[in-house]
């Protein structure tokens, strides 16, 4: 991998080394984003299942990602990031095949639901390997001094794809039909696999490797903060379309686009604040903005206020993953970075996996708006946890001086 002592390069040159590999994350998340806004309605309206099952059908993907994180970390650390990305893209393509079969099986709701769940499971597997591999591939190309930049650009690719994919999926579904979504997912995965083949891999890092259990324990506090903050994204991604429909508001997919746009804007403009102020202080500010945005969604009397709330939530959530992630990955030796990144990411998957069915229950009992109040409370808890982690970090840094 690139070493930190390598000849310094300009910010632009560094970015140009990062973008080609995070583009595979972009393609992966396009395969996630394209069906994202239409699948809850398909499960609820076309197949006739409850809102809880509609949320679960989306969230099962995140549970699959959660289960495959240890595999993703081991694969990236031992086989290398490039092979990890290629395997992940293969999983995304296979999910598109099952999605197409699920839509063609719509006259048999149970069969269609089973195929859809299997498709989501494969997509979660592909997401895990592709996302972890792309980040480590980028770090290998530019060095560990640019961890935050790589993670930030990977997030831009992630949520940029979701911002584009959600309205694109709605438009394609309206113009062509659900079946076209499966075909497009397959095509995107094939494109990514083809583009990855000629690119140079980075060497596998050798040296001390911590056990996955030890890595997991070390990043646990940071992961809990990530899980609490991710409830906002999970709630918006899963239930914003049904929230709009319940209030007879148009353009639900626009809220996902606005969320993604502000997310990308915050990453582009403020990613360097992590290196300047430290991950914990940035996380405290980020969670605070996210909490306010979710409260605006909960209280929104009309669509424009809801859009503003989604925008502020996206702005706040933007730096959560890299801010806490840089702190987490810095706790392990270089040869265990893949394990640390995957262990940390487990909490994102766990949060999104739990949020769907839990938010579905809350929506059924108290209305769709209450889902965003629940997520706002989770963000408020994340603020408190980040403050505690920051205070512990400051105390640890000052301890040698005190001795």
Q: What DSSP letter does each residue of 98-166 carry, written as one string?
A: HHHHHHHTTTSHHHHHHHHHHHHHHHHHHHHHHHHHHHHHHHHHH-GGGHHHHHHHHHHHHHHHHHHHH
pLDDT in tens, 283-295: 999 999 999 999 9
Going from the N-terminus, what domains does the chain have, and what CATH number goes with each? 14-402 (1.20.1250.20)
Give the separation between CA 110 and CA 101, rounded to whole angstroms. Answer: 13
Give the mean pLDDT of 358-377: 87
- The region of weakest confidence among 46-55, 90-99, 223-232 is 46-55
Residue 375 has pLDDT above 90, yes or no: yes
Give the separation between CA 338 and CA 70, rounded to whole angstroms. Answer: 9
Question: How sure is the predictor about 4, in pLDDT bands with cuts at 50, 70 and 90?
Answer: very low
Angle at 258 between CA 369 and CA 49, to 5 degrees: 45
pLDDT of residue 112: 85
pLDDT of residue 233: 86
Question: How sure is the predictor about 205, in pLDDT bands with cuts at 50, 70 and 90?
Answer: low
Give the mean pLDDT of 163-184: 84
Helix (H) or strand (E) holding 26: helix 11-36
Give the mean pLDDT of 201-217: 76
Higher pLDDT, 274 or 355: 274
pLDDT of residue 305: 93
Give the mean pLDDT of 295-304: 92
Contacts of 100 (CB under 8 A, 6+ apart): 179, 181, 182, 183, 186
Q: Tell me the two tokens of residue 256.
A: 């996902």
Are 32 and 123 within 8 A, CB to CB? yes
Q: What is the average pLDDT score of the chain?
A: 84
Contacts of 401 (CB under 8 A, 6+ apart): none
Give the separation between CA 188 and CA 123, rounded to whole angstroms. Answer: 13
Residue 3 has pLDDT above 80, yes or no: no
Question: How sure is the predictor about 55, in pLDDT bands with cuts at 50, 70 and 90?
Answer: confident
Using a 10 angstrom Cβ sphere, with 0-12 exposed, 13-18 middle and 19 or more buried, the burial of residue 145 is middle
Give the closest residue to 21 by CA, choosing from 241, 263, 192, 248.
192
Are 337 and 205 within 8 A, CB to CB? yes
Using a 10 angstrom Cβ sphere, with 0-12 exposed, 13-18 middle and 19 or more buried, the burial of residue 188 is buried
- The region of weakest confidence among 62-66, 138-142, 241-245 is 62-66
Give the mean pLDDT of 228-248: 86
- The region of weakest confidence among 7-16, 35-44, 93-102, 117-126 is 7-16
């Amino acid at each position: 991998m690139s070493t930190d002592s390598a000849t310094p390069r300009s910010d632009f040159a560094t970015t140009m080394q990062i973008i080609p590999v995070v583009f595979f994350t972009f393609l992966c998340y396009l395969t996630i984003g394209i069906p994202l806004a239409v699948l809850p309605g398909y499960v609820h309206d076309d197949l006739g299942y409850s809102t809880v099952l509609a949320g679960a059908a989306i969230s099962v993907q995140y549970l699959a990602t959660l289960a495959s994180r240890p595999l993703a970390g081991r694969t990236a650390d031992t086989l290398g990031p490039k092979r990890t990305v290629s395997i992940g893209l293969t999983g995304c393509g296979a999910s598109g095949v099952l999605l197409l079969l699920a839509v063609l099986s719509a006259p048999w709701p149970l069969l269609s639901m089973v195929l859809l769940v299997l498709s989501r499971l494969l997509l979660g597997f592909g997401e895990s390997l592709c996302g972890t591999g792309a980040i480590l591939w980028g770090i290998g190309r530019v060095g560990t001094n640019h961890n935050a930049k790589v993670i930030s650009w990977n997030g831009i690719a992630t949520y940029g794809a979701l911002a584009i994919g959600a309205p694109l999926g709605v438009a394609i579904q309206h113009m062509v039909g659900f079946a076209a979504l499966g075909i497009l997912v397959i095509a995107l995965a094939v494109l990514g696999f083809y583009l990855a083949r000629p690119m140079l891999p980075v060497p596998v890092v050798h040296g001390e490797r911590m056990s996955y259990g030890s890595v997991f324990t070390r990043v646990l506090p940071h992961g809990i903060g990530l899980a609490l903050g991710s409830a906002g994204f999970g709630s918006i991604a899963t239930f914003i379309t049904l929230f709009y429909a319940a209030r007879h508001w148009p353009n639900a997919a626009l809220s996902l686009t606005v969320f993604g746009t502000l997310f990308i804007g915050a990453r582009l403009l403020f990613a360097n604040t992590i290196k300047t102020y430290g991950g914990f202080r940035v996380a405290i500010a980020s969670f605070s903005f996210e909490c306010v945005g979710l409260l605006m969604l909960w209280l929104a009397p009309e669509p424009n206020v809801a859009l503003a709330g989604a925008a502020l939530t996206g702005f706040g959530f933007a730096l959560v993953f890299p801010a806490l992630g840089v702190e987490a990955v810095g706790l392990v030796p270089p040869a265990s970075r893949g394990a640390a990144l995957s262990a940390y990411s487990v909490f994102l998957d766990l949060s999104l996996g739990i949020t769907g069915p839990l938010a579905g229950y809350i929506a059924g009992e108290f209305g769709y708006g209450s889902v965003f109040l629940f997520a706002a409370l989770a963000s408020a808890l994340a603020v408190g946890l980040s403050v505690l982690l920051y205070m512990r970090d400051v105390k640890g840094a000052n301890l040698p001086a005190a001795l």
